[in-house]
Amino acid sequence: MKLIRALGGLVSYMNIFAGIVGGLWLIILGKWQLPVVGLILALIAVNALFPILMLPGYALGRVSLKLLNARHLISYWIAQVISWLFNLAWITAFVYVVFHLVVNNGGTAPLLPLLLLAYSLVAGPLGELTINESDDDGPTKMIIFAADLGLIFMSIVVLISGSLATGFLAFIPFALFGMAWGLMGGYAAMVEEKGIIKVREPLGEESLEPQGDRMPEHISKTELAKYVDHFYGKAVKLVREKKFASAGQLQRQFQVSYQVSAALLDAMEDENVIGPADGARPREVL
């Protein structure tokens, strides 16, 4: 994951460079409408479109996590594959639409600045999806990194062949590889050295630390309060170290159920340790 983070940083700089060069080139050619309108639409995509598109995949991800906790592996993989296929579909559609609009509205402008601008308008918003992810919560990083590589290869193929359709076909294998990579990475993040996540049933204060038995998804308010009291300080320390907070993060770290992790998030929000929920994104640490 460190290698991905390093390469991802390099790709981010390439994205910025491509956007600046492509945008300025088109402005000099008198095609200033493309970079200006493209920038506005990219901001709309990041702040309005993407959060809506991510909701179904996020909901399926929550379902799959509960299935994994219950050790229903077949159902878990079905939910995960559906979730990632949905994300793959809208990401691929977004790539095609942006490249199609930029290239086909470029008029007599050279193909290279159009491709640089289209690449930047796609890679930039997609990169925003991973901004709040840590190394422990990075399956999305995997598919976005693969998509970035696919965008670079796609742009090269389009530049050589002059065919947007051919370039788009070159992008598809990278997107599929990113999906498979993300699926395996997400599963690995949920598995400990001895197998599936193990959570335990609350019997008393001494049972609040890992015991190897499963914790029921729904426990009484009294038992829930015990878990929140026990893990609250550790949870605050964790989110401040990681610079973000999410239910999955707390479940993996403390081996607790979604009910407990959600209660911990609510408690930290009440104490102004973290910010409110923002769709599918991890919560901000205040």
List the domain boundaries for the chain.
Answer: 2-192, 198-284
Beta carbons within 10 angstroms of residue 280's beta carbon: 20
Mean pLDDT is lowest, of 114-118, 160-164, 276-280, for: 276-280
The contacts of residue 118 (CB under 8 Å, 6+ apart) are 22, 98, 99, 102, 103, 155
Mean pLDDT of 200-218: 45
Residue written as token pair 């190394």: 135
Mean pLDDT is lowest, of 174-178, 256-260, 262-266, for: 256-260
Ramachandran angles phi, psi of 30, nearest 5°: 90, 10
The whole-number pLDDT of residue 114 equals 93
Distance of alpha carbon 57 from alpha carbon 232, whole angstroms: 29
The whole-number pLDDT of residue 25 equals 93
- Radius of gyration of the chain, Cα coordinates, nearest whole angstrom: 22
pLDDT band for position 116 (50/70/90)? Answer: very high
Question: Which CATH number does the domain 198-284 belong to among 1.10.10.10, 3.40.50.10310, 2.40.10.340, 2.60.120.10?
Answer: 1.10.10.10
Which 3-state string (H, E, C) describes 142-171?
HHHHHHHHHHHHHHHHHHHHCCHHHHHHHH
The candidate with the shortest Cα–Cα distance to 96, out of 147, 34, 51, 143, is: 147
Beta carbons within 10 angstroms of residue 193's beta carbon: 4
Mean pLDDT of 264-284: 79
Distance of alpha carbon 19 from alpha carbon 110, whole angstroms: 15
Distance of alpha carbon 5 from alpha carbon 253, whole angstroms: 21
Which tens digits make up the pLDDT trace of 9-62? Answer: 566 677 888 889 999 999 999 989 999 998 898 888 888 888 888 888 778 877
